[in-house]
């Protein structure tokens, strides 16, 4: 089976920090949890796979797609950062941003936005101002903004860090269901029990290197 | 003191009675300054954003040049463009010298570095996640840059207002390239200089009050934007 993400001989140097991944293949429709201490390189690896940070050496490819250019590849990979930035305007504006870039408008746009907001438990938030949301709501909107695009690869940087314990179970159930929607999910977490609950495979990273 | 009060009273009367000469000078000032600000915005905003976002060799030199151009005396701009637009100059055949278009060209040169520098500062001070967010949602670098400008729109508006404030009050370019022709290129600033030297202090004062009011409104806008 062709992997969804394939990394070979990757080297990224940022100051004193080196991210070095000799080989990594992530299979499609699976969920992977990236764990490691603070500063181990989790966020850097996610940003590199999201093609926001380009490595000095090595390759990152998505063998199951025909996308070759950076802008094409960025349309199949979406990253939700740990402290997401919501664009100015309403929740709707945020979710519509990526859809407009993909020429999805009108009824289809409305339908997708309503569905994505319902999935993250934010029905009725469509016309709320982004600047008036709490930390947990921002994180949910950012996830909905990614889900609405139905990316082939979804990268999540500590997606549950701002989610309260009462909502955690539903949120984890949502994350666990994403591979069934055809997504390959890679998320970072400090909670070592979370991958087990989500049925995910653990990738341990230490000082910029993956420990098998 | 009586002279000053009498002049002030006459000046206010001229403004109140919509003196034609005052109105023409105000109209020319606003027209040339607004068109020049428009051109400077079209050039300066994308240029400032590009310099702020792209890292390339020679960037530092461009930043130094931009800072130098910010402090460029208006008479020097007037002098250089006078050379270009004069009959013997390379652009002489266009016949632009002593027309509003020559003033607009000079004022565009004056305002563009200011607008570019303000936008550059706004981009440098912006949240780094904006570009990443737009890119990861599938935007091209150009689309992400446009989104960034939308997010920092108050900084961009402040840049445009600062550019306008600079050109509406300048006298060197308007005098050298416009020639202070009555009803054609006479602006508020050149009229103040000329009329006061002719002894028409009240007329100069009336234009000064209008100019001050425009500057006040511009600065009020700037303050409101900076506080947002």
Domains and CATH numbers, chain B: 2-227 (1.10.3720.10)
Contact A45, A30 (CB under 8 A): no
Which of A128, A149, A170 marks a domain boundary?
A: A149
**Is A202 found in the same domain as A163?**
yes
**Is A145 found in the same domain as A112?**
yes
**Is A96 found in the same domain as A5?**
no
Lowest model confidence (mean pLDDT) among A146-150, B19-23, B191-195: B19-23
**For position A57, which CATH number holds?**
3.40.50.300
**How many angstroms separate the CA of residue A69 from the nearest CA in chain B?**
11
Q: Which domain holds residue A141?
A: 87-149
Contact B137, A80 (CB under 8 A): no
pLDDT score, position B228: 64
Chunked mean pLDDT (size 10), chain A, 212 residues:
94 94 95 94 96 95 88 92 95 97 95 96 94 92 96 94 83 90 94 87 94 78
**Is A155 found in the same domain as A64?**
yes
**How many angstroms separate the CA of residue A67 from the nearest CA in chain B?**
13
Domain count within chain A: 2
Which of A149, A164, A194 marks a domain boundary?
A: A149
Contact B102, B177 (CB under 8 A): yes
Contact A138, A163 (CB under 8 A): no
Residues B152-160, mean pLDDT to the nearest whole number: 93
pLDDT digits (tens, 9 = 90+) for B175-188: 999 999 999 999 99
**Is residue B12 over pLDDT 90?**
no
Q: Which of B137, B140, B150 sits opposite A78 (nearest CB)?
A: B137
Model confidence at B166, in pLDDT bands (50, 70, 90)?
very high
**Is residue B215 over pLDDT 90?**
no
**Is A65 found in the same domain as A9?**
yes
Quick one: tokens of A207? 């000082």
- Is residue A28 situated within a structural domain? yes
- The complex's ipTM works out to 0.93
Could you give the CA distance from residue A84 to residue A138 in angstroms, rounded to a whole number?
7
- Burial zone of A89 (CB within 10 Å; 0-12 exposed, 13-18 middle, 19+ buried): middle
**Is A177 found in the same domain as A135?**
no
pLDDT score, position A212: 67
pLDDT digits (tens, 9 = 90+) for B43-87: 999 999 999 999 889 999 999 999 999 988 999 999 999 999 999
Residue B175 DSSP one-character state: I
**Is A145 found in the same domain as A55?**
no
What are the CA-CA distances from residue A212 to residues A34, A61, A67, A206, B88 (Å)?
12, 21, 29, 11, 77
Quick one: tokens of A195? 């991958």
pLDDT score, position A71: 83
Quick one: tokens of A174? 């949502």
Quick one: tokens of A81? 């950062």
Q: Which of A71, A85, A102 sits opposite B133 (nearest CB)?
A: A85
Cα separation of the two ends of chain B = 43
- Is residue A19 situated within a structural domain? yes
Could you give the CA distance from residue B83 to residue A163 in angstroms, rounded to a whole number?
67
Which of A132, A149, A166 marks a domain boundary?
A: A149
Could you give the CA distance from residue A56 to residue A207 in angstroms, rounded to a whole number?
18
Could you give the CA distance from residue B107 to residue B72 in angstroms, rounded to a whole number?
12
**Is A128 found in the same domain as A59?**
no
Could you give the CA distance from residue A16 to residue B90 in angstroms, rounded to a whole number?
55
pLDDT digits (tens, 9 = 90+) for B24-50: 999 999 999 999 999 999 999 999 999
**Is A124 found in the same domain as A41?**
no
- Is residue A81 situated within a structural domain? no
**How many angstroms separate the CA of residue B127 from the nearest CA in chain A?**
9
Quick one: tokens of B153? 């729109």
pLDDT score, position B69: 92
- Is residue A82 situated within a structural domain? no
pLDDT score, position B19: 83
Nearest to B178 by CA among B23, B44, B25: B25
**Is A165 found in the same domain as A62?**
yes
Which of B136, B140, B142, B153 would best serve as a mutation to test chain A binding (most A beta carbons within 10 A)? Answer: B136
Average pLDDT, chain B: 91
- Is residue A162 situated within a structural domain? yes
């Amino acid at each position: 089976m062709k992997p969804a993400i394939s990394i070979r001989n990757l080297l990224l140097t940022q100051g004193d920090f080196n991210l070095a991944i000799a080989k990594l293949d992530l299979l499609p429709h699976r969920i992977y949890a990236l764990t490691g201490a603070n500063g181990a390189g989790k966020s850097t690896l996610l940003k590199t796979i999201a093609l926001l940070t380009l490595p000095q050496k090595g390759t990152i490819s998505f063998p199951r797609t025909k996308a070759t250019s950076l802008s094409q590849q960025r349309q199949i990979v979406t990253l939700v950062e740990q402290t997401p930035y919501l664009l100015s305007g309403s929740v709707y504006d945020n979710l519509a941003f990526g859809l407009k870039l993909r020429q999805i408008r009108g009824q289809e746009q409305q339908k997708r936005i309503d569905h994505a907001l319902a999935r993250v438990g934010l029905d009725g938030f469509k016309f709320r101002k982004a600047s008036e949301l709490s930390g947990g709501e921002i994180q949910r909107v950012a996830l909905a903004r990614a889900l609405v695009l139905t990316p082939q690869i979804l990268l999540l940087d500590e997606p549950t860090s701002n989610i309260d314990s009462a909502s955690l179970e539903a949120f984890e159930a949502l994350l666990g269901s994403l591979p069934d929607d055809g997504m390959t999910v890679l998320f970072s977490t400090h909670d070592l029990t979370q991958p087990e609950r989500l049925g995910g495979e653990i990738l341990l990273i230490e000082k910029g290197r993956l420990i098998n | 003191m009586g002279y000053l009060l009498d002049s002030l009273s006459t000046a206010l009367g001229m403004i109140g009675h919509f003196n034609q000469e005052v109105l023409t000078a105000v109209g020319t000032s606003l027209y040339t300054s607004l068109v020049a600000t428009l051109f400077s915005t079209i050039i300066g905003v994308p240029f400032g954003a590009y310099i702020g976002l792209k890292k390339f060799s020679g960037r530092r030199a461009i930043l130094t040049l931009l800072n130098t151009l910010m402090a460029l005396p208006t008479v020097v701009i007037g002098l250089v463009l006078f050379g270009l637009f004069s009959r013997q100059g390379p652009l002489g055949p266009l016949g632009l010298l002593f027309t509003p278009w020559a003033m607009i060209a000079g004022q565009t040169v004056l305002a563009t570095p200011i607008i570019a520098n303000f936008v550059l500062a706004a981009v440098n001070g912006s949240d780094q996640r904006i570009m990443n967010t737009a890119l990861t949602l599938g935007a091209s670098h150009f689309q992400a840059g446009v989104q960034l400008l939308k997010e920092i729109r108050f900084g961009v508006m402040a840049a445009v207002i600062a550019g306008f404030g600079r050109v509406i009050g300048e006298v060197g370019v308007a005098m050298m390239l416009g020639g202070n022709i009555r009803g054609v290129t006479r602006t508020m600033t050149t009229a103040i200089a000329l009329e006061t030297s002719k002894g028409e202090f009240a007329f100069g004062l009336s234009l000064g009050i209008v100019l001050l009011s425009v500057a006040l409104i511009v600065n009020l806008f700037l303050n409101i934007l900076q506080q947002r």
